[in-house]
Amino acid sequence: MPRFQPHEHLRRPADFEAVYDRRRSAADGTLVVYARENGLAYSRVGLSVSKKFGSAVRRNRIRRLLREAYRLEKSELPAGYDLVLIPRPLDEFALEPIRHSLAKLARQAVKKILKDTDAAKPTGEAT
């Protein structure tokens, strides 16, 4: 099983701000995923679980589920992106719905980034 390595964590507030400022996200009823290119050979992930989710015990459980979903889906996710995962309020959190949402939403957010970079490239220059 691939481990969740320390260099794959987003930790600094500046890293989170850079991802939020890129303004590329995808969401469903379970999760919101923000994405940004990072120029590295691997992806990094940051977790944002606010106090509105309840006690520290509950928030930490949600973080553990998010980290585990990332660890299990890491090989299927596109490499070279910073991802910030924000859960949506649910009555009950489970691993499988989070895994499914993460895989789908990360691909959608990256597709938006690639669409932006394709639109920014000139299609052809007249000489």
Cα-based distances in Å from 74 to 14, 53, 62, 96: 23, 25, 18, 14
DSSP character string of 40-59: SSS-EEEE---GGG-SHHHH
- Helix (H/G/I), strand (E/B), else coil: 64: helix
Residues 99, 45 contacting (CB under 8 angstroms):
no
Average pLDDT along the chain: 89
Residue 48 phi, psi dihedral angles, 5° rounding: -130, 100
Q: Give the tens place of pLDDT for each residue, 65-100.
A: 999 999 999 989 989 999 999 999 999 999 999 999
Residues 48, 16 contacting (CB under 8 angstroms): yes
Domains of the chain: 6-117 (3.30.230.10)
% of the chain residues with pLDDT over 90: 69
pLDDT recorded at residue 47: 95
Report pLDDT digits (tens) over 3-42.
778 888 999 999 999 999 988 999 999 999 999 999 899 9
What is the reported pLDDT for 93? Answer: 92
